[in-house]
């Protein structure tokens, strides 16, 4: 056992004494020490109940002959951090989460890990740590929130953000918004659509590091507690068999994850997180791979924000196993890939049942012939840009309009809510990338304001930052290189024509090469918005969005 380094032999008597100071017995110390990275806190709705998940995991570990050792990690609630300085810290927290788990596991000679995340950056941060450490590991998330209800209609957090725009447009009263505020988020769990947190929790199943149900069983259900106990028991089998992430996180596993990503219409943030997790596993994901997989993978689940269904509907229809089953029928998956369940992806798919062919459609009856995400290329994004094409209105799949240029999210939101944006405009928000932000803020406020004001079929948004997984509409993010690195988005001027062609994967600034060269000579990068503390160090190390925003080696 790795933990013997810290507990076995005469010279480790001081170490054992410290364990005993916490109440550990000799019998407990004789067993494998299983680390539990628990992101519980009282600031994230998806994490408020993770203490209960951890208790269930610990019960499972003890039943199967291990000793659970719990430690904490940080987490940012993107919804609460949205629209102010706090969002600069969200993506940046991913690296700290991975680093902190590495520190705890290495410093205390842990034998295996159970990872308990639930929301946005916490899930990929923990997966990055698992790949980096290569100890036997399993993920058990806190599960999705149930949808809210407003006058008979299912609601979620995105309903609130769009409601703000609706109030500005005069189509919703302040009293109605207050009623929404009280009902849209009814309890614990990750926000109830196919937003970033649920996207990553679902893809954790496909990558093979989580049990079936991890991404879809609601947080409020007892089935989530039972799943946590099973995860605790299962980590002991993984330890005994020495099954490690390096045996599971293969190149084919990432191709499977991207395939399911396209079928589900996941958040654009998966284009940041999957490459980052792959990087930690020593695997490179090129953005071209997204378009290759998207082209042959139909979009078979239409979930919020692009569709009407929530995660609970996906769970009741058969969950991720049923999605795997439909894709397997069309030979779109690598079926031999291992998972922590002990079953291969093919076996999970074969045992699944699709209980609602409208929520999970067959490949032949897909919502869209191509997958949910697309990478756009052109002189405005030489290294690529990301759009959730499954959430774009048909009218906006191709668009040409004048640029309305803003140097920050706040300035853009002020213009949108101030009725200064016209139909046909292309809103450009720059200096919000990983380096220039710093931190590549997630922007749900401007996109929701556009939708709330009824402009989502008339206005596009383009940014070197990123958009929330709850975003819908022609919102194109991750434009690379970013403005802070001298990317062409830095050279866009008010009124320049921009052409968007999502079906042909093009994003073009309709300005001559000669004019762009002249502008580049006069260009001076803007000073970082935050010059001290962690974010100043982060800005010096972080790479562009097209690499997953990982740190330079």
For 164-183, give the DSSP string. Answer: HHHHHHTSS-HHHHHHHHHH
Q: Closest Cα to residue 483, out of 528, 550, 451?
A: 528
Q: Compute the distance between CA of residue 496 and CA of residue 427 in angstroms, rounded to an integer.
A: 11
pLDDT at 196: 94
The one catalytic residue among 267, 468, 480, 544: 468
pTM score of the predicted model: 0.95
468 catalytically annotated: yes
pLDDT (mean) for 90-114: 98
| 406: β partners | 429
Q: Compute the distance between CA of residue 375 and CA of residue 46 in angstroms, rounded to an integer.
A: 30
Q: Closest Cα to residue 65, out of 38, 30, 14?
A: 30
pLDDT at 183: 94
Angle at 368 between CA 363 and CA 370, to 5 degrees: 85
Q: Closest Cα to residue 203, out of 307, 277, 114, 303?
A: 277
Q: Is the pLDDT of residue 469 over 80?
A: no
Q: Is the pLDDT of residue 516 over 90?
A: yes
Confidence of residue 475 (pLDDT cuts 50, 70, 90): very high
Q: Compute the distance between CA of residue 360 and CA of residue 382 in angstroms, rounded to an integer.
A: 35
pLDDT at 472: 83
User: Does residue 351 or residue 553 have the better pLDDT?
Assistant: 351
Q: Considering just the CA atoms, what is the radius of gyration of the chain in Å?
A: 23
Distances (CA, A) of 426 to 91, 178, 398, 435: 26, 31, 12, 23
Confidence of residue 22 (pLDDT cuts 50, 70, 90): very high
What integer best gives the mean pLDDT of the chain? 96
Q: Closest Cα to residue 87, out of 445, 451, 549?
A: 445
Would you list the DSSP string of 315-339? Answer: HHTTHHHHHHHHHHHTT-S-TT-B-
pLDDT at 529: 85
Work out whether strand 153-155 and strand 373-378 pair parallel, antiparallel, or are unpaired. unpaired
Token representation of residue 126: 């923990």
pLDDT at 368: 95
Confidence of residue 445 (pLDDT cuts 50, 70, 90): confident
């Amino acid at each position: 056992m790795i933990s013997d380094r810290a507990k076995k032999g005469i010279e480790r008597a001081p170490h054992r004494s410290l364990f005993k100071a916490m109440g550990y017995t000799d019998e407990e110390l004789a067993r494998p020490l299983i680390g539990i990275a628990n992101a519980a806190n009282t600031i994230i709705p998806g994490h408020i109940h993770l203490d209960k998940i951890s208790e269930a995991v610990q019960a499972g570990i003890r039943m199967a002959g291990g000793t659970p050792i719990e430690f904490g990690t940080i987490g940012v609630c993107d919804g609460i951090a949205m629209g102010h300085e706090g969002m600069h810290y969200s993506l940046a927290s991913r690296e700290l989460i991975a680093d902190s788990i590495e520190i705890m596991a290495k410093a205390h000679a842990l034998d295996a890990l159970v990872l308990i995340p639930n929301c946005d950056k916490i899930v990929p941060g923990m997966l990055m740590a698992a790949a980096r450490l290569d100890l036997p590991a399993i993920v058990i998330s806190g599960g999705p929130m149930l949808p809210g209800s407003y006058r008979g209609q299912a609601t979620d957090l995105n309903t609130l953000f769009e409601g703000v725009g609706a109030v500005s447009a005069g189509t919703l009263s302040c009293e109605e918004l207050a009623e929404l505020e009280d009902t849209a988020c009814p309890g614990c769990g990750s926000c109830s659509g196919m937003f970033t947190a649920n996207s990553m929790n679902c893809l954790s199943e496909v990558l093979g590091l989580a049990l079936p149900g991890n991404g879809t069983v609601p947080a409020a259900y007892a089935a989530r507690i039972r799943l946590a106990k099973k995860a605790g028991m299962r980590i002991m089998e993984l330890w005994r068999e020495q099954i490690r992430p390096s045996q599971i996180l293969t190149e084919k596993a990432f191709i499977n994850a991207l395939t399911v990503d396209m079928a589900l219409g996941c958040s654009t943030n998966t284009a940041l997180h999957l490459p980052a997790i792959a990087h930690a596993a020593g695997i490179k994901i090129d953005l071209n791979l997204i378009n290759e997989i998207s082209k042959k993978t139909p979009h078979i689940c239409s979930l919020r924000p692009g569709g009407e269904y929530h995660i609970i509907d996906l769970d009741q229809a058969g969950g991720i196993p049923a999605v795997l089953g439909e894709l397997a029928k069309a030979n779109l998956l690598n079926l031999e890939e291992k998972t922590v369940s002990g079953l291969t992806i093919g076996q999970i798919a074969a045992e699944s049942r699709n209980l609602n062919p409208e929520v999970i459609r067959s490949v032949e009856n897909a919502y869209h012939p191509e997958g949910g995400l697309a990478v756009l290329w052109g002189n405005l994004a030489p290294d690529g840009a990301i759009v959730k094409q499954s959430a774009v209105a048909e009218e906006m799949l191709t668009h040409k309009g004048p640029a309305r240029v803003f140097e920050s999210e706040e300035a853009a939101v002020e213009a949108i809510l101030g009725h200064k944006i016209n139909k046909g405009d292309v809103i450009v928000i720059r200096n919000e990338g990983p380096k220039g932000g710093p931190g590549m803020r997630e922007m749900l406020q401007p996109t929701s304001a556009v939708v709330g004001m009824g402009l989502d079929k008339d206005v596009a948004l383009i940014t070197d930052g990123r958009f929330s997984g709850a975003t819908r509409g022609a919102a194109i993010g991750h434009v690379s290189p970013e403005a802070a690195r001298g990317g062409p988005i830095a050279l866009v001027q008010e009124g320049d024509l921009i052409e968007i062609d999502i079906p042909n994967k093009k994003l073009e600034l309709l300005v001559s090469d000669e004019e762009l060269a002249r502008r580049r000579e006069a260009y001076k990068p803007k000073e970082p918005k935050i010059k001290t503390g962690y974010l100043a160090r982060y800005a010096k190390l972080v790479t562009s969005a097209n690499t997953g925003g990982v740190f330079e080696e």
